[in-house]
Structure 1
């Protein structure tokens, strides 16, 4: 099957709907891939790149960027998000089929489409050998790479996957493929893990400030952590401590700036305490907002099948509307990328267009009325076509929380403990979301350093650190001041 798919890819064809129903073994023993009805044909000169817009691709099915096409259970994350796909999307779908062939169940099986989409985007599938213990360990590595969430972490070509499957088949025939450990060994391992968590000597392994931050579980907490003072260590131990004291892992939420950072901290907490820490909800503000909007579209007031526009799509839409309004180059009007930055700043800083122009783009103040008209057209188009930008994910989540007491209460009760990393690089909109998500409790701990704020160009404000006690009047403030990274002469100069 993989070799057949490689032949299609060699001719620039992305299948986009791989599933068991489209894969058959004929009576003469040949494997066949059927139903290329949703296939996309990439131009020869562009095959190494992403299947792009109409200028770069020829579509056998007339679809637009942002349209979700395919069967949900077998779709790649980028397909679900309505992004442009390339040949690596088929690698993910083929990985889902492989997993189902070996394990006897789909890796992201859920009760409904929305939960399935959430699982594909945010959850890792259970190890195949945990379902069938006689499967070889190397197969788990192959499946994990094929099912990586981001395309760059997968096999870059289906031929690479086919080669590894051939090698695995050869090793199994020669008896060289090691099976996964038997289930009793896994049970014994899990049984001993909680005892390991109870042996953590927090007072011995942490300094005084870190220990105080870790042991403060309830109520609002602001941790001011300078560079090299062990803020990540503090968060990791805090997660371990919460789980150790009986907090349900699913009721804790860790918000970071990258999914990789969240995964790394959860893995460290699991290694420190036990595997339950891996069940802590972790991700970025945007991924959390996307998950909530997908799960509660009715309460959030968005279409169930909304699509998310990436940066390039957003700029193209703005350019389309600008041309329709005849805002051509013969006048001193900002380019589409600049317009996109202006509109993004309005949302993230929660300020009116006039203020954004006066403070950051004074050269375009004469175009204030026209930009306002363009912004209104932009918003109307997105809402009528059920489209959201990355900024809209946060904006619509905040609007949903403000407008739906039911949603606000459900999220607040679901996430009883919220932790935010790099709080100095959050924007006003994100700070408002944190406040709304703690409606029924104040159990939020934020970590940051106002001197390390580097994302002001994206609307971030170090003032969130200073204004945290205003959002949470009973907030405790703990400072991590012992540096573990730099030698004393460097610290003397810095001080």
Structure 2
């Protein structure tokens, strides 16, 4: 067989580390890979696919790769395709003939997002659950419109809720999505409320924190009729949102074992990326399809779990060994858990950065041994720099960051900020600023632009901080809802109309009297 190192030399790419090689040439069986930040997990996943194809274990079209974003799916698919094309060119003719000829490399691995795969599965097998395969997936904007109509038409009790209609709509959509991701129903929520009432009835004097739990549960229960009405509205229109789609696909896979047989016969190898961010619905879907000893490789890092707000659980990765055993329990025998391996060498950060990260992760590693202590890659010993500062105001913080960046860009040094040799001067594109929330973007942007540092704010949230875009959004909000006072005030006080405070007061007074004038009173 071609070894991972020989394959790397054929493709003219860096040879894998011992840890990476162990993953690349692992047997065709379930395996979990805990890959630290910057440890080359994407490269390792692509290399495993190419190694399996190069050694005749699997054809490319019988490989399934799932990840969370379309961008990651496209990058992984393109990387595998490039490697396979290169391998077809460099392999000797006799080796190609032994593997079955050049046609072996013609197929395409199926690499998609978890939700896209669930959509395909639902479309193929919806009839098994007496559902229409043509049920249309709606966008978040359409879902908002439908939910908003449900909220506006609701006349039930709302004594526990004093929110605006838009806030109620947002809460209904978020809670509906949470229920779908957890495969729960409104009756499950009411059941939790009944148990909480029993527990608190036994307390002589509940603490404030305990009373708050009851109050939040009461709010959730008052939202349940709205969530049920929202579900009925989608059912009548034969439409589904993303949460519904994943929950329905999980239900189909769980109730119909033949669906798993079909998928296992179609895909000989399954790769699951960012597995620490899978939800309960995704876990049920994947376990129902591939948990019978099928070759499934799950890659993730509990320290990088970012989707807990929508039902994801880093514990899914830690429980992979028991959820996807090498040999399931048969005839009373105990199941054989899947192996768990680690990628602990980071090629992204220097030694000092990794030392700081290790201190932050100490509490998480105390709960499980699966979280690796990252070590630097070759040439990164002693590199990296960690600075910490506390400020009285967010304005001071933004100013300090801008000043620090300006100093780095103007400094004439032979050593880079991380301690590496400075080959060429730093460019603006070499610097990145990460913020915890979007509300920090405008301050950072103004501080950087004040020092003539060009700024690119990545993502839609960043675009919404641009004044011209904010004016467009405000105009659209006022057109949709004339009572959107904040947006209307922005437009009236802006450069187009330039109304002052006295004019706004007079306008507000006139608007308040206008309906009565229309009635002639």
Compute the TM-score of the two structures, normalised by the length of structure 1.
Answer: 0.55
Aligned residues: 300
CA-based RMSD? 3.0
CA 1:239–1:301: 2 relative to 1, 3 Å: farther
Cα deviation digits, residues 258-279 of structure 1 (max 9, x gap): 1221121121122223384871
Q: In 2, Cα distance between the equivalents of 1:369 and 1:201?
A: 59
* Matching residue within 130, 145, 156 for 1:316: 145
Deviation at 1:284, TM superposition (A): 0.6
User: Within the alignment, does 1:407 sit opposite 2:217 as a pair?
Assistant: no
Q: How far did 1:302 drift?
A: 2.2
Q: 1:440 to 1:450 in 2, by over 3 A?
A: closer
Residue 373 to residue 248, structure 1, CA distance change in 2 (3 Å): same
In the alignment, structure 1 residue 484 sits paired with structure 2 residue 347: yes
* Larger deviation, residues 343-352 vs 259-268: 343-352
- Higher RCO, Cα 8 Å, sep 6+: 2
Match of 1:348 in 2: 181
Secondary structure of 2:319's counterpart equals helix
1:472 to 305, 317, 324: 324
Q: Is the 8 A contact 2:62 2:267 kept in 1?
A: yes
Rg larger for = 2
Alpha-carbon distance, 1:322 to partner: 2.3
- Indicate the residue corresponding to 2:171 in structure 1: 338
Q: How does 1:121-270 map to 2 (within 5 A)?
A: 200=10, 205-246=15-56, 247-270=58-81
Matching residue of 1:429? 281
1:3 is matched with none
The equivalent residue for 1:326 is 155
For 2:259 and 2:355, the matched residues in 1 are separated by: 50
> Structure 2: which 5+ residue stretches go unaligned?
1-5, 87-104, 197-209, 326-336, 359-521
Does 384-393 or 266-275 show the bigger shift?
266-275
Native 8 Å contact 1:240 1:277 kept in 2: no
Matched residue of 1:382: which SS?
helix
Residues 456 and 251 (structure 1 numbering): CA distance in 2 closer, same or farther, change over 3 Å?
Answer: same
Q: Is 1:256–1:284's contact at 8 Å kept on the other side of the alignment?
A: yes
8 Å contact kept, 1:256–1:421: yes
Q: Which moved more, 1:302-311 or 1:323-332?
A: 323-332
Alignment of 1:360-439 (within 5 A): 363-439=215-291
Q: 1:388 to 1:224 in 2, by over 3 A?
A: same
2:342 match: secondary structure: strand
CA distance in structure 2 between the partners assigned to 1:414 and 1:337 by the alignment: 40
Partner SS state of residue 418, structure 1: strand
* 2: CA distance, partners of 1:387 / 1:311: 12
Within 5 Å, give how 1:76-155 maps onto structure 2.
Answer: none
Shift of 1:201: 7.9
How far, CA to CA, are the matches of 1:213 and 1:256 in structure 2? 18
Contact 1:256–1:283 (CA under 8 A) maintained in structure 2: yes
Gaps of 5+ in 1: 1-195
CA distance change for structure 1 residues 481 and 294 in 2, over 3 Å: closer, same or farther? same
C-alpha distance in structure 1 between counterparts of 2:54 and 2:156, whole Å: 60
Q: In terms of mean alpha carbon deviation, does 375-384 or 253-262 score higher?
A: 375-384
The whole-number CA distance in structure 2 between the counterparts of 1:469 and 1:439 is 10
Task: Specify the SS of the correspondent of 2:245.
Answer: helix
CA distance in structure 1 between the aligned counterparts of 2:352 and 2:44, rounded to whole angstroms: 25
Matches of 2:22 and 2:144, distance apart in 1: 47
How far is 1:243 from its partner? 2.0
CA distance in 1, matches of 2:82, 2:296: 24
Q: Indicate if the aligned counterparts of 2:67 and 2:272 stay in contact, CA closer than 8 A.
A: yes
Cα distance, 1:421 vs structure 2: 0.9
1:315 and 1:355 map into 2 onto residues whose CA distance is: 28
Shift of residue 202 of structure 1?
A: 11
Q: Is the 8 A contact 2:291 2:324 kept in 1?
A: no
Q: Give SS of 1:332's match.
A: coil
* Equivalent residues of 1:259, 1:282 under 8 A apart: no
Matches within 5 A, 1:46-61: none
Cα 1:208–1:441 change in 2 (3 A) is same
The DSSP-based 3-state class of the residue aligned with 1:224 is: strand
Write the distance in 2 (CA, Å) between the matches of 1:222 and 1:230: 15
Deviation at 1:280, TM superposition (A): 0.4
User: Does the 8 Å contact 1:398/1:433 carry over to 2?
Assistant: yes
Instruction: Give yes or no for contact 2:61–2:107 (8 Å, CA) kept in 1.
Output: no
How far apart, in 2, do the equivalents of 1:438 and 1:444 lie? 7
Tell me the SS of whatever aligns to 2:23: helix
Query: TM-score, normalization: structure 2?
Result: 0.53
Change (3 A) 1:281 1:410: same
Residues 375-394 of structure 1 deviation map (CA, whole Å, 9 limit, x = unaligned): 22222332333211101111
Q: What is the DSSP-based 3-state SS (H/G/I as helix, E as strand, rest coil) of the residue aligned with 1:218?
A: coil
